């Protein structure tokens, strides 16, 4: 069947769509054969073309990712597959193919996470030797280590002396060769991130010296995160590692006054979110998202008494800045750290911060307003019950803005951008938090929502209003006087015969 896979893979790699479809059908049929794994392993360890071996590794990983397939193998068959994989890992010289094999090794390692397996130890030993002895092999082999660390974390807890020695050696060598901003180092940091919880269980002599030099590690992570010449994925991994390192070395970081430099770098990265980005909550691959996630984690680890004064040093001048991105970053940070700093904010700063947010709702830049509403929504969600005494004032402010928004949109003077989404997020969270306290404000809320739903506004605005209507409905019996109006509005979206555009709102209306 190995020759059949040659044909199949050739078809999958060709640019002809018909050939690809035909090869895909052949692949599904081949996967039904009992000897499929052995044929794939034979191709993987052969001298066939690079792209063939790489695709074979991808197909093998896809097949072995099905735990039912793995459990269906006998012990001897499982050992045979692992033998092939180790042979392929040792013999392969092409980086792309070796990384693909590393993914398969990580998948198989995951099936042995809870029990001792000599094979994983052998793979780790080989990876250590190659990373240390051959710099040309270190990138793909460090990726294999990262894959194993992710899938077989518990197993590697017993291998921490070897792991720490490997990490230390690579860090020392990379520092000497001025290659700290390399894929190898990024892979090692990524893998060590999964193993940090186990570092404290081992004697100090097993922990790499790099971890003892807290300031040096923190500086390395910050420099790599901020350096625009370094590859994006490496920078994002370093940002992710910052919070993990904080979790383990919090006392030493605070003692050496490293918290402010860390927060400053993260804040500056949040400030660099592109001005034309529609993603004020940020996307998973942006530098601002990586920095925000790290800041959120740090707020959970460090006391608010220690973190918030440092953030105020950055946020106060940022809010007064003439730069839209800087102002937006300040408000985004308010929302990001709200859960972690909940206790101290509610105790000392809630009213002051709400006044700042109230001012921010009138910011001339729409993206800044979006960040303001994001922060306000986070406050309403996280600061219960302390924020309840301010909720009537907050809701009054939001209703005034909603009336203004509807008027502006009717005149076509304000586009529907991300700030509208964030506004309705804040409105919904405020209504949900008020519960029956919304009684006196309910007429104003319902009047605004009904006007928006019954007039020819854009579908996007009406979808937001339908979602807000669901949040208001949580006020229980208070909503009953409006029930007939709600039903009348819903009929527009639940009728069998409606145009295609209105039909798009049907699911939202059903959920409401």
- Map 210-224 to HEC letters: HHHCHHHHHHHHHHH
Residue 501 confidence (pLDDT): 60
Q: Find the helix or strand (DSSP H, E) in which 171 lies.
A: helix 160-176
Phi, psi of 365 (to 5 degrees): -95, 130
Kindly indicate the confidence band of residue 281, based on its pLDDT and cuts at 50, 70 and 90.
very low
- Residue bearing the bigger pLDDT, 48 or 266: 266
Torsion of CA 394, 398, 400, 401, to 10 degrees: 140
Report the distance separating Cα 60 and Cα 9, nearest Å: 12
Give whichever of 233-237, 324-328, 449-453, 492-496 has the largest mean pLDDT. Answer: 324-328
Mean pLDDT across the stretch 225-233? 78
The whole-number pLDDT of residue 420 equals: 86
Determine, yes or no, domain membership for 412: yes
Structure tokens at 23: 């090869």
pLDDT at 175 over 90: no
Q: Are 319 and 267 in contact (CB under 8 A)?
A: no
| Nearest-angstrom CA–CA distance, 308 and 324 | 22
In a domain, 208, yes or no: no
Mean pLDDT of 218-235: 79
d(CA 510, CA 493): 9
Contact, 185 vs 139, CB < 8 A?
Answer: no
* pLDDT at site 261: 92
Q: Residue 360 above 70 pLDDT?
A: yes
Residue 338 has pLDDT above 60, yes or no: yes
Handedness of CA 72, 76, 80, 82 (dihedral sign): positive
Establish if 459 belongs to a structural domain.
yes
Which range among 52-56, 137-141, 325-329 has the greatest average pLDDT? 325-329
Q: How confident is the model at residue 136 (pLDDT cuts 50, 70, 90)?
A: low
Residue 404 to residues 196, 408, 451, Cα–Cα distance (Å): 51, 6, 13
Give a yes or no: residue 100 inside a domain. no
pLDDT at 12 over 70: yes
Which helix (H) or strand (E) segment holds residue 149: the answer is helix 138-151
Q: Is 410 part of a structural domain of the chain? A: yes
| Total domains present in the chain | 1
Q: Let me know: does 350 contact 383? Beta carbons within 8 Å.
A: yes
State residue 434 phi and psi, 5-degree precision: -75, -30
Q: In 347-366, which positions are buried (b, 16+ CB within 10 angstroms) versus exposed (e)? A: eeebeebbebbeebbebeeb
First CA to last CA distance, the chain:
55
By the 10 Å C-beta count (0-12 exposed, 13-18 middle, 19+ buried), 99 is classed as buried
Of 428-437, 447-456, 469-478, minimum mean pLDDT range? 469-478
- The pLDDT score that the predictor gives to residue 280 is 40
- pLDDT over 70 for what percent of the chain? 83
Nearest to 331 by CA among 341, 340, 320: 320
* Percent of the chain's residues with pLDDT above 90: 23
Per-residue pLDDT tens over the stretch 40-76: 888 888 888 889 899 999 999 988 888 888 888 888 8
C-alpha Rg value of the chain to the nearest Å: 28
Give the separation between CA 251 and CA 493, rounded to whole angstroms: 57
User: What pLDDT shows up at residue 459?
Assistant: 72
Residue 28, both tokens? 């599904």
Instruction: Output the pLDDT for position 470.
Output: 76
Q: Look at residue 194 and tell me whether its pLDDT is greater than 80.
A: no
Give residue 455's domain range: 384-511
Question: Whole-prediction pTM value?
Answer: 0.65
Q: pLDDT tens digits, residue range 375-433?
A: 999 999 999 889 988 988 898 899 888 888 877 777 766 666 778 889 999 998 888 88
Does residue 454 lie within any of the structural domains? yes
Question: Cα(152)–Cα(119) distance, rounded to whole angstroms?
Answer: 12
State residue 284's pLDDT score.
Answer: 45
* Model confidence at 283: pLDDT above 50: no
Q: Which residue has the higher pLDDT, 190 or 507?
A: 190
- CA 170 from chain center: how many Å? 27
- Separation of alpha carbons 236 and 226, rounded Å: 10
Q: What's the helix, strand, coil split of the chain in %, to 5?
A: 80, 0, 20
Q: Which helix (H) or strand (E) holds 422?
A: helix 418-434
pLDDT of 93-115, one tens digit each? Answer: 887 888 888 888 888 888 876 56
Residue 210 lies in a domain: no
Mean pLDDT of 253-266: 92
- The per-residue pLDDT of the chain, averaged, comes to 81
């Amino acid at each position: 069947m190995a020759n059949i896979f040659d044909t199949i893979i050739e078809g999958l790699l060709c640019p002809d769509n018909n050939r690809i479809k035909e090869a895909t059908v052949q692949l599904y049929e081949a996967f039904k054969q009992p000897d499929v794994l052995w044929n794939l392993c034979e191709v993987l360890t052969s001298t066939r073309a690079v792209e063939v071996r790489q695709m074979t590794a991808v197909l093998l990983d896809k097949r072995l990712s099905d735990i039912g397939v793995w459990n269906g193998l006998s012990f001897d068959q499982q050992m045979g597959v692992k033998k092939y994989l180790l042979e392929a890992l040792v013999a392969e010289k092409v980086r792309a193919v070796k990384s693909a094999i590393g993914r398969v090794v990580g998948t198989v390692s995951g099936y042995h996470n809870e029990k001792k397996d000599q094979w994983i130890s052998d793979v780790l030993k080989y990876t250590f030797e190659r990373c240390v002895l051959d710099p040309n092999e270190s990138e793909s082999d460090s990726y294999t280590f990262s894959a194993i660390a992710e899938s077989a974390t518990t197993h590697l807890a017993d291998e921490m002396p070897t792991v720490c020695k490997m990490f230390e050696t690579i860090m020392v060598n990379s520092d000497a060769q001025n290659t700290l901003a390399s894929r190898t180092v990024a892979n090692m940091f990524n893998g060590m991130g999964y193993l940090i919880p186990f570092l404290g269980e081992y004697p100090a002599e097993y922990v790499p010296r790099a971890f003892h030099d807290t300031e040096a590690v923190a500086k390395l992570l910050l420099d790599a995160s901020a350096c625009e010449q370094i590859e994006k994925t490496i920078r994002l991994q370093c940002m992710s590692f910052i919070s993990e390192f904080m979790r383990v070395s919090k006392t030493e970081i605070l003692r050496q006054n490293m918290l402010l430099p860390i927060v400053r770098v993260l804040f500056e990265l949040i400030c660099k979110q592109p001005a034309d980005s529609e993603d004020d909550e940020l996307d998973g691959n942006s530098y601002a998202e990586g920095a925000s996630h790290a800041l959120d984690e740090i707020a959970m680890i460090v006391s608010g008494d220690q973190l918030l004064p440092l953030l105020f040093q950055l946020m106060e001048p940022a809010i007064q800045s003439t730069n839209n991105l800087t102002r937006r970053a300040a408000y985004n940070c308010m929302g990001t750290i709200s859960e972690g700093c909940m206790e101290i904010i509610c105790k000392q700063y809630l009213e002051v911060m709400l006044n700042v947010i109230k001012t921010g709702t009138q910011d001339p830049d729409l993206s800044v307003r979006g960040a303001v509403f994001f922060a306000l929504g986070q406050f309403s969600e996280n600061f219960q019950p302390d924020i309840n005494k301010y909720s009537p004032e907050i809701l009054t402010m939001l209703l005034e803005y909603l009336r203004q928004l509807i008027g502006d949109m009717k005149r076509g003077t304000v586009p529907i951008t991300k700030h509208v989404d964030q506004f309705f997020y804040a409105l919904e969270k405020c209504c949900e938090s008020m519960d029956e306290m919304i009684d006196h404000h309910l007429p104003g809320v319902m009047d605004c929502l009904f006007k928006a739903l019954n007039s020819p506004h854009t579908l996007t605005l009406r979808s937001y209003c339908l979602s807000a209507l669901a949040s208001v409905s949580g006020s229980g019996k208070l909503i009953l006087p409006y029930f007939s109006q709600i039903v009348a509005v819903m009929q527009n979206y639940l009728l069998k015969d409606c145009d295609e555009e209105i039909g798009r709102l049907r699911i939202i209306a059903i959920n409401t």
